[in-house]
Chains A and B, each alone.
Chain A
Amino acid sequence: MLVETVGPRREVRAADPRAIACGIAPGQGVADAQALVPDLLVLPADPAGDLAALHKLAEWATRFSPLVAPDPNDGLMLDITGCAHLWGPGDNGEEKLLADALQRLRSHGFDVTGAIAGTIGAAWAAARFSQSKQGTIIPAGAVSGALDGLPVQALRIDAATADGLQRLGLRKIGDLYPMKRAGLAQRFGTTLIKRLDQALGCAAETLSPLLPPPEHRIGLGFAEPISAPESLHRVSEILVGRLAKELSAHQRGARMLKLSAYRLDGVVSALTIGTARASAEPRHLFHLIAEKLERIDPGPGIEFMSLAAERTEVVTALQSGMIDMDEAAVSAADLAPLMDRLANRLGAERLARPIPVESHVPERAIKMVAPLQGQKKVQWPKLPPRPTRLLPNPEPIEVMAPVPDDPPITFHWRRIRHRVVWAEGPERVAPEWWRPASPDANESLETRDYYRVQDETGGRYWLYRAGLYQAEKQPRWFLHGVFA
């Protein structure tokens, strides 16, 4: 028996069949229950854990249909439109699908019932209130007939409404059909009418699936569970081949692929890959997947695998007029696979192509963009000498400057003392007050006077003094770059 604390009272939340047989019911006080059965096993309920488990189960259920919505506290809803034929022809398919799902869930130790119906409401009602062990299938057009014998609670209404209906003698759903809708709505609110309409298919209702449905998806089930790396390899190859075929038939390419492995123990192990440009090239896609395949943990064995194109794009040639010729060279066909391999292993944020930005502030004068991202034609401006290495963050240095407005004669950087033998400048960089302030607002909103200095060994550095010269204030100096 599971117990939940509601306010000051500890209530029974769930009980197993044997406890129910002894007269214990959810909602009862724990003290009452223990009075009934003294040697009751009382455990605290874990609603968050239950919900998480339900989500995991929903993920597992995507093997039957990509559209799965968890229905707390104890249900899963699957939109199997267009999926049933994979299990068998005609209505036979639905039957087999339901039987397969129930049998698999039972083998994982769940106590389940199920139903297939044309509406969410009807399936919900039939799954919970018809007593059939092998599940119920309500054929299209027979919804109202199938529902009229079920109690009103099957309409997904709250307990108070159900109580009220029962007090009026309306015990079954069928009792509601002849009633005046306006009267019902007035007495019990519009929810009841809405639920009734939804169950009967007079009002629309949609699932909000756990995961957005992929645009293209290929699945493969195995007679014997697989777990050897070679088998995984082979299966992924087959999946990629089929998906690529399907994608190219639709003239689309994958930007994101998800490979899911459904394990015997109900766990789903998945990996995701991204591509820099839409691709339907099986060898390329397979290469990306193979690199990460070791992240799939086969556990006790995999019984089903699916590969879904989570994001696809139309494969098009680059519009050459918009894009710089050099850019076109950078995005040459051969490079997309390389970029994907690098991004796949190192992460997309590690790849960059520098783009000039019109800004006097040196660290802003370059923007790093994704390598194959199309860019308008840009001109690289002619600037005064610039260092080959620019520190991402200017480093404060200790300087000795005889005249405050002059470049220093010595400075310390990274514990090394540099004697300046030659200096050039200043190049004044005014703050760009019109730009949003960076985290170190002080730094970027100060005028900088840049100097190129050379030390006695020949090292050339880019130093700047932050802020305008003020007689009473000690000027602050920074090292920002190293010249070639």
Chain B
Amino acid sequence: MPEHPALAANQNRPASIDALRDQVARLERLGATTQNRPKGPGGSLRPVTLGAAELDRHLPWGGLPRAALHEVAGEGADREEGAAAAGFASLWLARLQDAGPVLWIVRAGCRATIDLHAHGLHQQQLDPKRLILVAAKRDDEALWAMEEGLKAKSLGAVLGEVEKLDLTASRRLQLAAETGGVTAFVLRRWRLMERAMRDAAQPIAAVTRWRVTALPTENEICWQVDLARCRGGRPNTWIMEKAHGSDELRLQLQRGQSNQHAPLSGDLAPLLGGRPLATGTRTN
């Protein structure tokens, strides 16, 4: 099997391959809306980059394509809690906010029971001032709200927390994202673990599918990020870390082993419990 052009190094790539890639992108309709919708400072549909070169380069578009559907899901307990997944999604959303406000559809009964914490998201670089929350009780409400949001061209991105998502529903979202030119994310959040195990592997029409696992760490965040599926690209696994206390986000990306459960490096070994590490901050 010949190596995918995306995996070839960015430098000294033959022009013909570039042309082929453009053609493929056109066929896949990714970025097809470039002409009718100027986005971002460059006025183009440039892909979103995390600023972590290795990850950005691994994606065939040189970043996450806009105007497409992406899936983010937690692993383990986070399938239910959706905390690490929300953090990871925030990183992308924060980089889409220059294109417009972000619509986040949360699973909640009403405004008062939304469990998304804006201060926490703010620490993941998402600007809460450009965040609109919608509480959706059921999946059908969330999917409908997502579709409506994707039609609003002035939004930067739409994220919906969804439990069940089939091929048809995800195709609708992908199509809406393409036509509206708004980037869409589904954050999978299951109520039952058994359901999650069964559902997570079902095929959906997302362009990329990400799995996030929180790993023991002393740092502020440490995730194992799996790119489980990528249209026109290869799955991969990284360890992503963000240092404590620093305001600026520093991502350390390590190319993990190709198997899903990459062992941890030794220096990340957890410390013993019951012993506070850092001196407590007192807000009083």
Contact = CB atoms under 8 A, between A and B. Distances in A.
Contacts of A341: 148
Given A423-B275, A425-B280, A457-B76, A390 B129 contact: no
Contacts of A14: none
Interface string A380-413: 1011111111111000000001110011110000
A345 B275 CA distance: 51
Interface string B118-151: 1111111001111111111000010011001101
B153 interface: yes
Which range contains the number of A residues in contact with the other chain?
35 or more
Nearest to B88: A484
B152 A427 contact: no
B136 A459 contact: no
A148 interface: no
B267 to A, nearest CB: 14
A339 to B, nearest CB: 8
A214 to B, nearest CB: 29
Contact of B216 (A353, A429, A454): A454
A341 B132 CA distance: 14
A207 interface: no
B107 to A, nearest CB: 11
Contacts of B88: 484
A422 B213 CA distance: 17
Secondary structure dominating the interface of A = mixed
Interface in A416-435: 416, 419-430
Given A350-B110, A388-B87, A389-B81, A424 B280 contact: yes
B128 A354 contact: yes
B6 interface: no
Interface string B252-284: 000000000000000000111111111011111
A385 B123 contact: yes
Given A346-B136, A388-B86, A327 B273 contact: no
A484 B135 contact: no
B119 A366 contact: yes
A326 interface: yes
Contacts of B284: 360, 428-430
B154 A366 contact: no
B110 A349 contact: yes
A440 interface: no
Contacts of A129: none
B22 interface: no
Contacts of A458: 76, 213-217, 222
A342 interface: yes
B4 interface: no
B214 A387 contact: no
Given A387-B120, A423-B276, A428 B283 contact: yes
Interface of B: 76-78, 81-84, 86-88, 90, 100-101, 103, 110-124, 127-136, 141, 144-145, 148-149, 151-155, 213-218, 220-222, 247, 270-278, 280-284
Given A378-B129, A389-B81, A459-B81, 16 more contacts: A334-B152, A354-B118, A366-B118, A384-B281, A389-B83, A389-B120, A392-B114, A402-B274, A421-B273, A423-B274, A424-B280, A456-B270, A458-B215, A481-B117, A481-B120, A484-B214
7 closest Cβ contacts across the A-B interface? A484-B87, A354-B118, A334-B154, A390-B117, A482-B83, A458-B214, A388-B120
29 contacts: A326-B129, A332-B154, A334-B152, A338-B148, A345-B144, A352-B134, A362-B119, A366-B118, A368-B133, A371-B132, A384-B281, A386-B120, A388-B116, A388-B117, A389-B81, A406-B276, A421-B271, A422-B270, A423-B274, A424-B276, A430-B284, A456-B216, A456-B270, A459-B76, A460-B83, A483-B87, A483-B221, A484-B86, A484-B88
